[in-house]
Amino acid sequence: MHSESGPGWMTRWPLPALAAWAASWCVFVALSALLPPSVAAWLPLVAAASVSAALAFTGSTPWRRVFIAGGFPLSLLASGLAGAVPAWAWLLPLLLLALLYPINTWRDAPLFPTPTGGLNGLAALVPMPAQARIVDAGCGLGAGLRELQREYPAARIEGLEWSWPLRLACAWRCRFARIRRADIWAADWSAHDMVYLFQRPESMARAADKAARELKRGAWLASLEFEARQLKPQQVLQCADGRRVWLYRAPFQRS
């Protein structure tokens, strides 16, 4: 685990979602036990769903709000199968989640891929020499690597991914790239001409600090959608879907 300054541990995704789901289940179980049978049976359900909906507004992005609001109803539907499934079987989804999304990556972005065509025009805005080293820090299943390779076919494309199942799947899908299992925050960025990120807003201050320490003069930090607010971008790519790629060149200018 790596310590970092900033918001408390309960703000680290997905802990807010887990806390909201637990609160909804506590309300549902408590009201189901306390209310007499003469009271409508749907009241505990409505109350618990209302808790989920209210806590969804704590999510920092639209998708997180959807996950927070929908977790309790989905888990309630799944619980109807509990009688037919052995108790140990419910541990399997948690095990798969831990393999795909290890605990020490919870502070980083979940598995949201770079959209197809999401980096169109990047090479025209930021030309790179042949054999330039470009790394996708947190490459997941390789969607960002494919977009980078499409823009920079002569570059040496690399990926860093901590989850070993994702790393293996990405290496199989993106055989043109060198994929390493590595913690993006512990890995050395200094040899790269561009570091590409599709992270989360809370991670950008940390990414900017690391890039300022490690990137060589002339190297680029590229961030899809999320701005490093303490840095002044040299270029901004406007994507077709309305997103932006924020581009910062070392040595960075503070905003």
Question: Has residue 142 been placed in a domain?
Answer: yes
The H or E element spanning position 231 is strand 231-232
User: What spatial distance separates the first Cα and last Cα of the chain, rounded to whole Å?
Assistant: 30
Residues 250 and 128 in one domain: yes
Question: Has residue 108 been placed in a domain?
Answer: no
**Pair of tokens at residue 37:** 């049978």
Pairing mode, strands 244-249 and 235-238: antiparallel
pLDDT tens readout for residues 2-29? 333 344 545 566 777 788 888 888 888 8
Question: Has residue 239 been placed in a domain?
Answer: yes
pLDDT tens readout for residues 29-56? 888 778 776 666 667 777 877 887 777 7
Q: From 85, 106, 135, give the residue that closes a domain.
A: 85
User: Residue 162: what residue type?
Assistant: W
Q: Residue 59's pLDDT band (boundaries 50, 70, 90)?
A: low
Residues 75 and 127 in one domain: no
User: Residue 101: what residue type?
Assistant: Y
Question: Has residue 140 been placed in a domain?
Answer: yes
CA distances from 157 to 120, 131, 179, 225 (A): 16, 9, 9, 21
pLDDT (0 to 100) of residue 63: 62
Residues 76 and 195 in one domain: no
Pairing mode, strands 220-224 and 244-249: antiparallel
pLDDT (0 to 100) of residue 4: 39
Q: Are 146 and 174 in contact (CB under 8 A)?
A: yes
Question: Has residue 157 been placed in a domain?
Answer: yes
6 or 229: which leads in pLDDT? 229
Instruction: Give the mean pLDDT of 126-132.
Output: 95
Question: Has residue 22 been placed in a domain?
Answer: yes
pLDDT (0 to 100) of residue 219: 98
Q: What is the pTM of this model?
A: 0.63
pLDDT (0 to 100) of residue 91: 53
Query: What domain range includes position 185?
Result: 122-254
Residues 67 and 172 in one domain: no
Domain containing residue 236: CATH number = 3.40.50.150
Please provide the average confidence, as pLDDT, over all residues in the chain: 81
Question: Has residue 104 been placed in a domain?
Answer: no
Whole-angstrom distance, CA of residue 161 vs CA of residue 82: 35
Residues 79 and 127 in one domain: no
Question: Has residue 146 been placed in a domain?
Answer: yes
Whole-angstrom distance, CA of residue 152 vs CA of residue 204: 24
User: Residue 110: what residue type?
Assistant: P
37 by DSSP, 3-state: which?
coil
The H or E element spanning position 135 is strand 133-137
Q: From 62, 85, 108, give the residue that closes a domain.
A: 85
The Cβ of residue 229 has, within 10 Å, a number of other Cβ atoms equal to: 12
Dihedral class, residue 237 (left if φ above 0, else alpha if ψ from -120 to 50, else beta): beta
Q: Are 200 and 90 in contact (CB under 8 A)?
A: no
Range with the poorest average pLDDT among 77-81, 142-146, 164-168, 226-230: 77-81
Residues 127 and 250 in one domain: yes
The Cβ of residue 167 has, within 10 Å, a number of other Cβ atoms equal to: 21
pLDDT tens readout for residues 206-227? 999 999 999 999 999 999 999 9
